[in-house]
């Protein structure tokens, strides 16, 4: 069967909020990629590689994959370390 990865997307460096990053995503891994000779873009005959499913929780994503007999790789998110800073710290050091 197809192999997929289950992950929680990370925010880009240009964003400070975490609102849109609470969903878990299943993406199918494409095996047969090739270079389009006309444009030079990467292309594939596999339409499942274009599919991206969103779930509210990790457990829902895993249960969906198991129910549909999808082999999956679970990628856990890295915890972000927050350094609380005060505006006054600019002047006290």
- Record the tokens describing residue 1, joined without a space: 């069967």
- pLDDT score recorded for residue 66: 94
pTM recorded for the entire structure: 0.71
> Among the residues of 3-93, which ranges form H helices?
58-67, 89-92
- pLDDT score recorded for residue 63: 96
- pLDDT score recorded for residue 62: 95
Contacts for 16 with CB less than 8 Å, ≥ 6 apart = none
Q: Could you give phi then psi for residue 47, rounded to 5 degrees?
A: -80, -20
- pLDDT score recorded for residue 58: 93
**Rounded Cα gap, residues 62 and 30, in angstroms:** 19
- Record the tokens describing residue 47, joined without a space: 């339409």
Consecutive sets of 10 residues in the chain, 93 residues long: mean pLDDT of each? 86 71 88 83 80 93 94 89 83 78
Q: Is residue 71 classed as helix, strand or coil in its secondary structure?
A: strand
Q: Which residue has the tokens 């090739």?
A: 34
């Amino acid at each position: 069967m197809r192999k997929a990865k289950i992950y929680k997307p990370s925010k880009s460096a240009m964003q400070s909020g975490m609102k849109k990053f609470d969903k878990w995503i299943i993406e199918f891994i494409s095996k047969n990629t090739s270079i389009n000779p006309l444009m030079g873009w990467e292309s594939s005959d596999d339409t499942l590689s274009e599919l991206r499913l969103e779930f509210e929780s990790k457990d829902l994503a895993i249960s969906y994959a198991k129910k549909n007999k999808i082999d999956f790789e679970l990628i856990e998110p890295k915890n972000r370390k927050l350094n609380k800073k005060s505006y006054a710290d600019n002047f006290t050091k």
